[in-house]
Amino acid sequence: MNLAQLVHATRSCRRFREDEPVSSETLHRLIDLARLSGSAKNLQPLKYLVACTPEKNAAIFPHLGWAGYLPEWPGPAAGERPAAYIVCLLDTEIAAEAACDLGIASQNILLGATEIGLAGCRIASISGKLHQAINLPDQLQILLVIALGRPREEVCIEEAGTNDDIRYWRTPDRVHHVPKRRLADIIIEG
């Protein structure tokens, strides 16, 4: 895959082959891609916690909110849940925020996952109880959870219509459709 193909293929996936494990070595290799990403003032305040066992995964899953535009869908069913997670953390002793760093780092992780046949989803809808559930020290703030696994759904990009509706939808063939605004609609002519 060239870069354009990789970017195109890197879609948010929310249904996985839960029985296909993702090793901690694989997760560490993905975090190594995040480690090399740009960082404001080169402070590198992001830290990562990995989970890839049924016990650890079960501690994380109930604290996540899935697909807000599909309110009738309670999230992935047992058997289709993520096989692994990378919890992205801010070390508040290093920086007070890291929003831009987080975007770059998480995209590196997701691009790397796609390259090796995995898929993932950033989850920012996280219950405040996750911090305690995974026994984190106070100085580490949870910013994002990246759910990962072998994909069990197809995700398809659509062109957003002129009615400005950017909500994704699903069809009965298990395809998840994601509207993207047209290039001409996001470039402002100076």
Ligand X SMILES: Cc1cc2nc3c(=O)[nH]c(=O)nc-3n(C[C@H](O)[C@H](O)[C@H](O)COP(=O)(O)O)c2cc1C
Residue ranges that bind ligand X, judged by CB under 6 A: 11-12, 14, 65-67, 121-125, 155, 168, 178
Q: How far apart are CB 42 and ligand X at their closest, in Å?
A: 22
User: Of 67 and 105, which CB lies nearer to ligand X in the complex structure?
Assistant: 67
Q: How far apart are CB 45 and ligand X at their closest, in Å?
A: 17
Q: How far apart are CB 49 and ligand X at their closest, in Å?
A: 17
* CB atoms inside a 10 Å sphere around CB 183: 8
Question: With b meaning 16 or more CB within 10 Å and e meaning fewer, what string describes 45-72?
Answer: bbbbbbbbeeeebebbbebbebbeeeee
Using the structure block, give the residue that is written with the tokens 């289709």: 80
Q: How far apart are CB 138 and ligand X at their closest, in Å?
A: 23
User: Of 78 and 93, which CB lies nearer to ligand X in the complex structure?
Assistant: 78
**Residues 179 and 160: beta-carbon distance below 8 Å:** yes
User: Of 46 and 155, which CB lies nearer to ligand X in the complex structure?
Assistant: 155
User: Of 94 and 168, which CB lies nearer to ligand X in the complex structure?
Assistant: 168
Order of strands across the sheet that contains 84-91 = 46-51, 84-91, 140-149, 119-123
Distance CA 37, CA 104 (A): 6
